Amino acid sequence: MDILALAQQFVLWSQDIAVTWGYLGIFVVSILGNASIFLPVPVFAISFFAGAILNPWLVGITAGVGAAIGELTGYVLGIGGREVIKSKNQKWLSKAKKWSDNKGVFPVIILFAATPLPYDIIGILAGIIKYDLKRFFLATVIGKVIINVILAWAGFYSVAWMAGVFGWV
């Protein structure tokens, strides 16, 4: 089975879970969809469509917190791969750690989490440099809630607008 077919099956499954379980389903789907490393799973679509039928604020918050929990897999992968990278790139690793301590990466984590930019690499790098887990998780929650609230409200207004335009109501 190819990756596209898997993604399509995941979307169908996640729609069923979200409709059946409501907010709990959205939470579970967000965790699982964001736990995948480097495999694009279209979990944002769930926030968009769920926002049309459920409270968009609660959809965004639920999906955002679930997404942040799922993104911890990248952080854990970074911690696990730290020793391999450390042995070959000690100089680079210390520079990256020093830069993150001096400049602060908290807003960078929020920015990446709140956009469709490739976020897995941020989690892996945060784990490699042993960025504070609590700060990483908080920044991830903030960013993921922002994007999921926006998507849920977009779904709320778009689906209602399309229903009016096409006479579905």
Q: What are 77-135's pLDDT values in tens digits?
A: 988 887 776 666 666 676 666 766 666 789 889 999 999 888 888 898 899 888 899 99
Q: Please report the pLDDT score of residue 14 as a whole number.
A: 73
Is the pLDDT at 141 greater than 70? The verdict is yes
Q: Please report the pLDDT score of residue 152 as a whole number.
A: 95
Residue partners of 65: CB distance under 8 A and separation at least 6: 27, 30, 141, 144, 145
Is the pLDDT at 1 greater than 60? The verdict is no
